[in-house]
């Protein structure tokens, strides 16, 4: 079932900034029967395509909102540029997929840098799982994200965003090796700009999770190298 | 103009909206809690409260309220708590206790039935 296909297509072509927010925008309300909000978090380095992925599969144009990080966020913000300021605002994007009459899935694009960990706590609490979106030209941008996900026992899959014109990219097996991703965890290719491809990434994640949650089914049987 | 003047601008505005209140230990909201208005905005009501009641005629996730009002999540939570305390809204929470711990991996995994519903929903897209 598709919602606002054309709208999502427009959003998919747009780069990260310039998201919809604020008055004057036409909102698309949920159904009256909507009762369960669910979360999946897409995490990755700056410019890797998180917002693009959210936009390509979301039924609404991606929205942006913000959270104020106060003292709690300072301990891990060792950037040294904050001076004595005691609040920082961090923006994050999200989109939405109506799954059925009751369930609504929200996709969050989360900045992967260390100083945003305070925000992550809110995003990951109760989330189904995460997609680590990877740019093979900047693999080390993903190290911290994977480390934190493992530490917090959040299940994840790794999706390699294949950009145009990058012919000689490393194979998935080499990405898995470089990121030290365990064998059971799916590592897959994607094109974050394409709705169908982004949808397959989400399906891979939930399929993996369903396998882990079911006693009978073996875990992590799909999309692996 | 010094950079500090700019830095202070947003916190001052937020202070006004919440009358300086912050959310205490009580935080009944998740980012995807669905908010439903139970009454119409009343005359004289704080404009942010009125806007929330208007936009939540249909269930609306907390993050969508935050994006629409252009206010940070923590500020929106304070406003929502006001409305919750006075019966202006009800909240449809994310499924309680959806996670369990996977034996071999120690991962936090959602309920099997919930995941199957999500999988079906995604496959139908």
How does DSSP assign A14-45, residue by residue? S-SS--B-STTSPP-PPPTT--EEEEEEEEES
Domain boundaries, chain A: 5-22+30-213
A216 alpha carbon, distance to own chain's centre: 28
Best A116, A128, A148, A157 member to test B by mutation, with max B CBs in 10 Å, is: A128
Task: Specify the 3-state DSSP secondary structure of A153.
Answer: coil
Q: How far is A136 from chain B (nearest CA, A)?
A: 26
Residue of B7, B74, B117 lying closest to A100 (CB–CB): B117
Cα separation, A99 vs B95, whole angstroms: 15
Count each helix (H run) and each strand (E run) in chain A, helices first. Answer: 6, 7
Q: Measured between CB atoms, does B31 come within 8 Å of chain A? A: yes
Say yes or no for a CB contact (<8 Å) between A106 and B98.
no
Q: How far is A85 from chain B (nearest CA, A)?
A: 8
CB pairs under 8 A between A and B: 172
Cα separation, B58 vs B81, whole angstroms: 18
Identify any residues that bridge with A108 across adjacent strands, giving them in sequence order: A41, A94
Residue of A30, A65, A153 lying closest to B59 (CB–CB): A30
Q: Report residue A220's pLDDT band, with 50, 70 and 90 as the boundaries.
A: very low
Q: Please report, rounded to a whole number, the percentage of residues in chain A having pLDDT higher than 70.
A: 72
Cα separation, A171 vs A16, whole angstroms: 27
HEC readout, chain B? CCHHHHHHHHHHHHHHHHCCCCCCCCCCCCCCCEEEECCCCCCCCCHHHHHHHHHCCCCEEHHHHHHHHCCCHHHHHHHHHHHHHCCCEEEECCCCCCEEECCCCCCEEECHHHHHHHHHHHHCC
| pLDDT tens-place string over residues B12-52 | 777 788 888 877 777 889 999 999 999 999 999 999 999 99
Helical (H) or strand (E) element with A111: strand A103-111
Task: Specify the 3-state DSSP secondary structure of A185.
Answer: coil
| pLDDT tens-place string over residues A86-134 | 677 888 999 999 999 999 999 999 877 767 777 777 788 889 999 999 9
Let me know: does A36 contact A104? Beta carbons within 8 Å: yes
Structure-token pair, residue B80: 């929502």
Structure-token pair, residue A187: 């590592």
Least confident span in A123-127, A144-148, A161-165, B6-10: B6-10
How confident is the prediction for chain A on average, in pLDDT?
79
Task: Return the CATH class of domain A5-22+30-213.
Answer: alpha beta
What's the predicted TM-score (pTM) here? 0.82
- In chain B, residues 60-79 whose CB comes closer than 8 Å to chain A: 60-61, 63-64, 66-68, 70, 72-75
Residue of A20, A100, A155 lying closest to B109 (CB–CB): A155
Cα separation, B63 vs A139, whole angstroms: 30
Structure-token pair, residue B39: 């009454």
Let me know: does A173 contact A147? Beta carbons within 8 Å: no
Residues contacting A180, CB < 8 A, separation 6+: A146
Helical (H) or strand (E) element with A197: helix A195-213
Q: Report residue B10's pLDDT band, with 50, 70 and 90 as the boundaries.
A: low
Least confident span in A58-62, B9-13, B29-33, B65-69: B9-13
ipTM of the complex: 0.87
Looking at per-residue confidence, does A14 or B103 come out higher? B103
Say yes or no for a CB contact (<8 Å) between B63 and A203.
no
Cα separation, A209 vs A154, whole angstroms: 11
Per-residue confidence (pLDDT) for residue B64, from 0 to 100: 97
Helical (H) or strand (E) element with A54: helix A50-57
Identify any residues that bridge with A73 across adjacent strands, giving them in sequence order: none
> Residue B84, class by beta-carbon neighbours within 10 Å (0-12 exposed, 13-18 middle, 19+ buried)?
middle
Q: Say yes or no to pLDDT of A13 above 90.
A: no
Say yes or no for a CB contact (<8 Å) between B34 and A35.
yes
Task: Specify the 3-state DSSP secondary structure of A188.
Answer: strand
Cα separation, B63 vs B20, whole angstroms: 21
Structure-token pair, residue B46: 């704080």
Cα separation, A50 vs A192, whole angstroms: 8
Please list, residue by residue across B31-52, b when 16 or more beta carbons sit within 10 angstroms of its beta carbon and e when fewer do.
bbbbbbbeeebeeeeeebbbbb
Say yes or no for a CB contact (<8 Å) between A105 and B121.
yes
Q: How far is B44 from chain A (nearest CA, A)?
A: 21
Q: How far is B20 from chain A (nearest CA, A)?
A: 14
């Amino acid at each position: 079932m598709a919602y606002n296909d054309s709208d999502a297509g427009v959003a998919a072509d747009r780069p990260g900034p310039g998201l919809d927010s604020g008055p004057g925008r036409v909102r698309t309300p949920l159904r009256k029967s909507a009762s369960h909000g669910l979360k999946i978090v897409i995490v990755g380095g700056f410019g890797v395509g998180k917002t693009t992925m959210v936009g390509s599969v979301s039924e609404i144009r991606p929205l942006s909102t913000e959270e104020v990080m106060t003292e709690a966020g300072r301990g891990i913000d060792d950037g040294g540029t904050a001076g004595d300021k005691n609040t920082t605002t961090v923006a994050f994007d999200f989109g939405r997929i109506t799954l059925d009459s009751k369930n609504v899935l929200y996709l969050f694009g989360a900045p992967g840098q260390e100083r945003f960990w305070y925000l992550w706590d809110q995003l990951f609490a109760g989330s189904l799982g995460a997609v680590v979106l990877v740019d093979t030209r900047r693999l080390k941008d993903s190290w911290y994200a994977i480390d934190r996900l493992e530490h917090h026992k959040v299940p994840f899959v790794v999706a390699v965003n294949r950009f145009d014109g990058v012919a000689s990219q490393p194979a998935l097996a080499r990405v898995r090796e470089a990121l030290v991703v365990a064998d059971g965890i799916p590592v897959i290719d994607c094109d974050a700009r394409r709705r169908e491809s982004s949808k397959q990434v989400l399906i891979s994640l939930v399929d993996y999770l369903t396998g882990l949650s079911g006693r009978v089914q073996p875990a992590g049987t799909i999309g692996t190298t | 103009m010094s950079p500090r003047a700019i830095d202070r601008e947003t916190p001052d505005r937020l202070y006004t909206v919440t009358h300086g209140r912050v959310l205490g230990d009580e935080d009944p909201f998740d980012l995807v809690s669905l908010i439903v208005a139970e009454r119409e905005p009343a005359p004289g009501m704080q404009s942010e409260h009125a806007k929330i009641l208007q936009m939540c005629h249909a269930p609306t996730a907390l993050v969508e309220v935050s994006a629409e009002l252009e206010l940070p999540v923590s500020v929106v939570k304070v406003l929502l708590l006001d409305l919750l305390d006075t019966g202006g809204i009800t909240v449809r929470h994310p499924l309680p206790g959806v996670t369990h711990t996977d034996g071999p991996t120690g991962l936090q995994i959602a309920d099997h039935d919930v995941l199957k519903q999500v999988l079906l929903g995604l496959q139908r897209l």
